[in-house]
Chains A and B, each alone.
Chain A
Amino acid sequence: MRLALDIITVVLVSAGGFFFMAGTIGLLRFPDTLTRLHALTKVDNLGLGLIVFGLLPQVESRLGALKLIVIWLLVQMSGAIVSQLIAQAVRRSGRQT
Protein backbone atom coordinates (compact mmCIF):
# COMPACT_ATOMS: atom_id res chain seq x y z
CA MET A 1 0.00 0.00 0.00
CA ARG A 2 2.80 2.31 0.94
CA LEU A 3 4.57 1.51 -2.30
CA ALA A 4 1.49 2.23 -4.36
CA LEU A 5 1.02 5.62 -2.69
CA ASP A 6 4.67 6.46 -3.24
CA ILE A 7 4.43 5.57 -6.91
CA ILE A 8 1.38 7.80 -7.31
CA THR A 9 3.29 10.61 -5.64
CA VAL A 10 6.33 10.20 -7.84
CA VAL A 11 4.27 10.09 -11.03
CA LEU A 12 2.07 13.07 -10.20
CA VAL A 13 4.85 15.26 -8.83
CA SER A 14 7.02 14.49 -11.84
CA ALA A 15 4.17 15.44 -14.15
CA GLY A 16 3.74 18.66 -12.20
CA GLY A 17 7.43 19.37 -12.50
CA PHE A 18 7.20 18.79 -16.23
CA PHE A 19 4.52 21.45 -16.49
CA PHE A 20 6.67 23.85 -14.52
CA MET A 21 9.43 23.26 -17.03
CA ALA A 22 7.03 23.75 -19.90
CA GLY A 23 5.79 26.98 -18.36
CA THR A 24 9.30 28.32 -17.96
CA ILE A 25 10.25 27.43 -21.51
CA GLY A 26 7.06 29.09 -22.71
CA LEU A 27 7.79 32.18 -20.66
CA LEU A 28 11.20 32.52 -22.21
CA ARG A 29 10.54 31.47 -25.77
CA PHE A 30 7.08 32.67 -26.71
CA PRO A 31 7.10 35.84 -28.82
CA ASP A 32 4.34 37.81 -27.22
CA THR A 33 3.19 38.88 -23.77
CA LEU A 34 -0.21 37.28 -24.23
CA THR A 35 1.21 33.94 -25.33
CA ARG A 36 3.63 33.99 -22.41
CA LEU A 37 0.68 34.59 -20.15
CA HIS A 38 -0.98 31.53 -21.62
CA ALA A 39 2.07 29.43 -20.80
CA LEU A 40 2.13 30.79 -17.28
CA THR A 41 -1.45 29.87 -16.47
CA LYS A 42 -0.68 26.26 -17.29
CA VAL A 43 1.87 26.40 -14.51
CA ASP A 44 -0.72 27.69 -12.07
CA ASN A 45 -3.42 25.19 -12.90
CA LEU A 46 -1.72 21.99 -13.92
CA GLY A 47 1.74 22.30 -12.48
CA LEU A 48 0.67 23.21 -8.99
CA GLY A 49 -2.45 21.04 -9.19
CA LEU A 50 -0.56 17.89 -10.10
CA ILE A 51 1.99 18.55 -7.38
CA VAL A 52 -0.78 19.06 -4.83
CA PHE A 53 -2.52 15.85 -5.84
CA GLY A 54 0.82 14.08 -5.75
CA LEU A 55 1.40 15.30 -2.21
CA LEU A 56 -2.03 14.28 -0.94
CA PRO A 57 -1.12 10.61 -0.40
CA GLN A 58 1.87 11.66 1.69
CA VAL A 59 0.07 13.89 4.15
CA GLU A 60 -0.99 12.25 7.40
CA SER A 61 -3.67 14.56 8.72
CA ARG A 62 -6.95 15.51 7.07
CA LEU A 63 -6.37 19.14 7.98
CA GLY A 64 -3.09 19.10 6.09
CA ALA A 65 -4.76 17.62 3.01
CA LEU A 66 -7.51 20.24 3.22
CA LYS A 67 -4.92 22.99 3.49
CA LEU A 68 -3.12 21.72 0.42
CA ILE A 69 -6.29 21.84 -1.67
CA VAL A 70 -7.33 25.23 -0.32
CA ILE A 71 -3.92 26.72 -1.13
CA TRP A 72 -4.07 25.32 -4.64
CA LEU A 73 -7.57 26.69 -5.25
CA LEU A 74 -6.55 30.08 -3.90
CA VAL A 75 -3.47 30.30 -6.10
CA GLN A 76 -5.48 29.13 -9.09
CA MET A 77 -8.26 31.64 -8.56
CA SER A 78 -6.01 34.62 -7.96
CA GLY A 79 -3.76 33.54 -10.81
CA ALA A 80 -6.71 33.44 -13.17
CA ILE A 81 -7.94 36.89 -12.14
CA VAL A 82 -4.49 38.47 -12.25
CA SER A 83 -3.93 36.98 -15.71
CA GLN A 84 -7.06 38.73 -16.89
CA LEU A 85 -5.76 41.97 -15.39
CA ILE A 86 -2.42 41.61 -17.12
CA ALA A 87 -4.08 40.86 -20.44
CA GLN A 88 -6.33 43.89 -19.99
CA ALA A 89 -3.31 46.07 -19.28
CA VAL A 90 -1.60 44.80 -22.42
CA ARG A 91 -4.67 45.51 -24.51
CA ARG A 92 -5.17 48.98 -23.04
CA SER A 93 -1.61 49.99 -23.66
CA GLY A 94 -2.17 49.19 -27.30
CA ARG A 95 1.01 47.26 -27.77
CA GLN A 96 0.91 44.45 -30.27
CA THR A 97 3.93 42.46 -29.06
Chain B
Amino acid sequence: MTITDFLLVAAAFVLLMVAIGLARILYGPADVDRILSVQLIGSGGVAVLLLLSVGMNVPPIMDVALMLGLLATFLSVTFLRDAANSSSVSPSTTEER
Protein backbone atom coordinates (compact mmCIF):
# COMPACT_ATOMS: atom_id res chain seq x y z
CA MET B 1 0.00 0.00 0.00
CA THR B 2 1.60 3.26 -1.03
CA ILE B 3 1.27 6.47 0.88
CA THR B 4 -1.23 7.72 -1.67
CA ASP B 5 -3.49 4.74 -1.05
CA PHE B 6 -3.21 5.31 2.67
CA LEU B 7 -4.25 8.94 2.34
CA LEU B 8 -7.24 7.99 0.21
CA VAL B 9 -8.31 5.38 2.73
CA ALA B 10 -7.91 7.92 5.51
CA ALA B 11 -10.10 10.35 3.58
CA ALA B 12 -12.77 7.68 3.14
CA PHE B 13 -12.56 6.83 6.85
CA VAL B 14 -13.00 10.43 7.97
CA LEU B 15 -15.90 10.79 5.54
CA LEU B 16 -17.52 7.72 7.02
CA MET B 17 -17.10 9.12 10.53
CA VAL B 18 -18.69 12.38 9.48
CA ALA B 19 -21.56 10.51 7.84
CA ILE B 20 -22.24 8.54 11.00
CA GLY B 21 -22.09 11.73 13.03
CA LEU B 22 -24.80 13.21 10.83
CA ALA B 23 -27.24 10.91 12.57
CA ARG B 24 -27.38 13.63 15.18
CA ILE B 25 -29.44 15.62 12.71
CA LEU B 26 -31.99 12.85 12.80
CA TYR B 27 -32.07 12.32 16.54
CA GLY B 28 -31.10 15.68 17.95
CA PRO B 29 -33.90 16.64 20.26
CA ALA B 30 -33.41 20.30 19.52
CA ASP B 31 -32.34 22.28 16.51
CA VAL B 32 -29.17 23.32 18.28
CA ASP B 33 -27.98 19.72 18.10
CA ARG B 34 -28.47 19.76 14.37
CA ILE B 35 -26.16 22.71 14.12
CA LEU B 36 -23.47 20.57 15.76
CA SER B 37 -23.59 18.40 12.67
CA VAL B 38 -22.98 21.48 10.55
CA GLN B 39 -19.80 22.05 12.53
CA LEU B 40 -18.83 18.42 12.12
CA ILE B 41 -19.13 18.45 8.38
CA GLY B 42 -17.25 21.71 8.33
CA SER B 43 -14.12 20.33 9.99
CA GLY B 44 -14.59 16.81 8.66
CA GLY B 45 -15.10 18.00 5.10
CA VAL B 46 -11.99 20.16 5.36
CA ALA B 47 -10.01 17.16 6.60
CA VAL B 48 -11.29 14.96 3.76
CA LEU B 49 -10.46 17.59 1.15
CA LEU B 50 -6.98 18.23 2.53
CA LEU B 51 -6.26 14.49 2.51
CA LEU B 52 -7.55 14.25 -1.06
CA SER B 53 -5.52 17.28 -2.12
CA VAL B 54 -2.24 15.81 -0.93
CA GLY B 55 -3.18 12.24 -1.85
CA MET B 56 -4.18 13.07 -5.44
CA ASN B 57 -1.45 15.72 -5.63
CA VAL B 58 -3.85 18.41 -6.83
CA PRO B 59 -3.07 21.55 -4.78
CA PRO B 60 -6.17 23.58 -5.85
CA ILE B 61 -8.35 21.26 -3.79
CA MET B 62 -7.03 23.08 -0.74
CA ASP B 63 -8.96 26.12 -1.98
CA VAL B 64 -12.14 24.09 -1.85
CA ALA B 65 -11.25 23.19 1.74
CA LEU B 66 -10.78 26.88 2.51
CA MET B 67 -14.15 27.73 0.99
CA LEU B 68 -15.79 24.90 2.91
CA GLY B 69 -14.33 26.00 6.22
CA LEU B 70 -15.49 29.59 5.83
CA LEU B 71 -18.94 28.65 4.62
CA ALA B 72 -19.55 26.10 7.37
CA THR B 73 -18.83 28.80 9.95
CA PHE B 74 -21.07 31.27 8.26
CA LEU B 75 -23.90 28.76 7.86
CA SER B 76 -23.63 27.79 11.53
CA VAL B 77 -24.25 31.39 12.48
CA THR B 78 -27.18 31.66 10.06
CA PHE B 79 -28.78 28.43 11.23
CA LEU B 80 -28.29 29.42 14.85
CA ARG B 81 -30.32 32.51 14.19
CA ASP B 82 -33.18 30.42 12.90
CA ALA B 83 -33.06 27.54 15.34
CA ALA B 84 -36.21 26.88 17.33
CA ASN B 85 -36.28 28.25 20.86
CA SER B 86 -33.96 30.92 19.66
CA SER B 87 -34.93 34.10 21.42
CA SER B 88 -32.36 36.07 19.52
CA VAL B 89 -34.14 36.79 16.27
CA SER B 90 -35.81 39.91 15.08
CA PRO B 91 -36.27 41.01 11.52
CA SER B 92 -34.31 44.13 10.79
CA THR B 93 -37.59 45.96 10.27
CA THR B 94 -38.46 46.13 13.96
CA GLU B 95 -35.37 47.98 15.07
CA GLU B 96 -35.89 51.49 16.31
CA ARG B 97 -33.41 54.00 15.06
The answer to whether A binds B is: yes
Q: What is A's interface to B at a CB cutoff of 8 Å?
A: 6, 9-10, 13-14, 16-17, 20-21, 23-24, 27-28, 33, 36-37, 40, 43-44, 47-48, 51-52, 55, 58-59, 61, 64, 67-68, 71, 74-75, 78-79, 81-83, 85-86, 89-90, 92-93, 95, 97
Please state if B14 and A17 are interface contacts (CB–CB under 8 Å).
yes
Please state if B51 and A51 are interface contacts (CB–CB under 8 Å).
yes
State A60–B53 Cα separation when bound (angstroms): 12
Please state if B65 and A71 are interface contacts (CB–CB under 8 Å).
yes
State A39–B76 Cα separation when bound (angstroms): 17
Chain A residue contacts of B73, Cβ below 8 A: 78-79, 81-82
Please state if A28 and B20 are interface contacts (CB–CB under 8 Å).
yes
A13-B10, A75-B69, A90-B32 known; A21+B3 contact, CB < 8 A: no
State A74–B43 Cα separation when bound (angstroms): 10
Please state if B47 and A47 are interface contacts (CB–CB under 8 Å).
yes
A43-B43, A48-B43, A58-B3 known; A92+B87 contact, CB < 8 A: yes
A48-B47, A61-B59 known; A33+B80 contact, CB < 8 A: no
Per a CB cutoff under 8 Å, which of A10, A21, A52, A86 touches B36?
A86
Please state if B21 and A89 are interface contacts (CB–CB under 8 Å).
no
Chain B residue contacts of A85, Cβ below 8 A: 76-77, 80
Chain A residue contacts of B87, Cβ below 8 A: 92-93
Per a CB cutoff under 8 Å, which of B32, B44, B54 touches A86?
B32
Please state if A71 and B24 are interface contacts (CB–CB under 8 Å).
no
Please state if A28 and B24 are interface contacts (CB–CB under 8 Å).
yes
For B51-93 the 0/1 string (1 means CB < 8 A from A) is 1001000010010011001101100110010010111100000
